[in-house]
A = this chain, B = another copy of it.
């Protein structure tokens, strides 16, 4: 449920609302620290329970940056014309999915275009922390 604070007019979203919004999108950003600077990398993802799962090419910089690291995952949807939007930021410790049954199930949901199954890591970020809000903060 959204909680509306009268001052400032900030609408924070609950965990269930955040998960619902994440389930409805397919492109988000892995936010990592690289060379002591933050950077965001778009990925095609699916929501698997309360974990965000995506593929990234084997041997790539993103794979190296996320493996067993605490990273953020961000998705937003902003429409300047209708003046509506939201943003969700999740945080969790990323790990590689290696269990064959789960990999097979995910294979169907993740676009092979983005990163080939044979040549990619399948990475999961359990959303241990999840925040969302309507954006801009002055709704």
Contact = CB atoms under 8 A, between A and B. Distances in A.
Chain A binding site: helix, strand, loop or mixed by DSSP? strand
Nearest to A120: B138
Interface in A69-90: 70-72, 74, 76, 78, 80, 83, 85, 87, 89
Number of copies: 2
Given A71-B38, A72-B40, A115 B138 contact: yes
A133 to B, nearest CB: 10
Contacts of A43: 136
Contacts of A31: 31, 38-40
Contacts of A29: 29, 40, 74, 76
Interface string A29-67: 101110001111111100000000000010010000000
A46 to B, nearest CB: 12
Given A40-B87, A44-B80, 19 more contacts: A26-B80, A27-B85, A29-B29, A31-B39, A37-B91, A38-B38, A38-B71, A40-B40, A40-B74, A40-B89, A41-B87, A42-B78, A42-B135, A57-B136, A57-B138, A80-B111, A114-B136, A114-B138, A115-B138
